Amino acid sequence: MSKPFLYTILSPELLNIYDIKDSIVVIIDVFRATSTIATALYNGAEKIIPVDSVDKCIAIGKQTPNSITAGERDGKIIEGLEYGNSPTDYPRSFIEGKTLVLTTTNGTKLLHMALNNGAKEIITGSFPNLNAVCSFLSKQNKNVFLGCSAWKNRVNLEDTLFAGAVIHQIKKHFTVHCDSSLMAEQMYALHKKDLYAFARLTTHWHRLSQYGLEKDLEFCVTENVANVLPQYKNGSLISSTNF
């Protein structure tokens, strides 16, 4: 039996050149949306509603009991929302049982693009939930697209590295005929022992560390510290036990 395909899409701008119908799409936004999503679910959030605009975020927040609104543009909390896009904002003592209505610069945008393009199934991935993602993907026998959220459509290293980390673990289950995937895996293999040090060279790290977010960024490149599987169902990301 032939193996399913795996592709890496390095920027949302490149999504349209692939046919993602009936495939699993992994949304990757390492700094910081998908790291925050994993952490909030790991710490007991009931669900996360990813929305692609601030207005929707506020409106849905008002309609949803026991919810909080959160989001950032360019690394800062947006006016009108209550919280930011930092994993450290969501300890269990605060987030357990709550619904997080979240909008971010890149990650939630890509998720909605994937939905509109007919993805069969959407999960989110980040270093904190690396193993859950790999375990899930390797059991599905379906085509997989690793979708990097990038930064304003510019290819970024941290999302590429995470794609590489996934490929490194699960490539034997897939046909990988994709130069972006080959490059991503090699970059991860080259730097897996010093992800902290290497991540400091990325443009996004430079941008966000100006806002005092270094601790956040370190957390976001730490593997398996929030090992849940965020799965998109009926408009929300919920923690699935299917891995």
Applying CB under 8 A, which residues contact a copy of itself? 10-11, 13-14, 17, 152-157, 160, 177-180, 182-183, 186-187, 190, 201-204, 206
241 within 8 A of 135, measured Cβ to Cβ? no
Helices marked H in the chain: 33-42, 54-63, 92-95, 107-116, 130-140, 157-170, 179-191, 195-199, 203-209, 214-220
CB-nearer residue toward a copy of itself: 136 or 188 = 188
CB-nearer residue toward a copy of itself: 182 or 238 = 182
Q: Give least dist CB 40 to a copy of itself, A.
A: 27
106 within 8 A of 40, measured Cβ to Cβ? no
Q: Give least dist CB 151 to a copy of itself, A.
A: 8
Q: What is the DSSP letter of 5?
A: B
CB-nearer residue toward a copy of itself: 114 or 226 = 114
Q: Give least dist CB 66 to a copy of itself, A.
A: 39
Q: Give least dist CB 120 to a copy of itself, A.
A: 21
Q: How many alpha carbons fall within 13 Å on the CB side of residue 123?
A: 26
Q: Give least dist CB 145 to a copy of itself, A.
A: 12
- CA-CA-CA-CA torsion sign (164, 51, 101, 232): negative
CB-nearer residue toward a copy of itself: 45 or 148 = 148
CB-nearer residue toward a copy of itself: 11 or 105 = 11
Q: Give least dist CB 71 to a copy of itself, A.
A: 22
CB-nearer residue toward a copy of itself: 10 or 208 = 10
What whole-number distance in Å separates Cα of residue 78 and Cα of residue 168?
Answer: 36
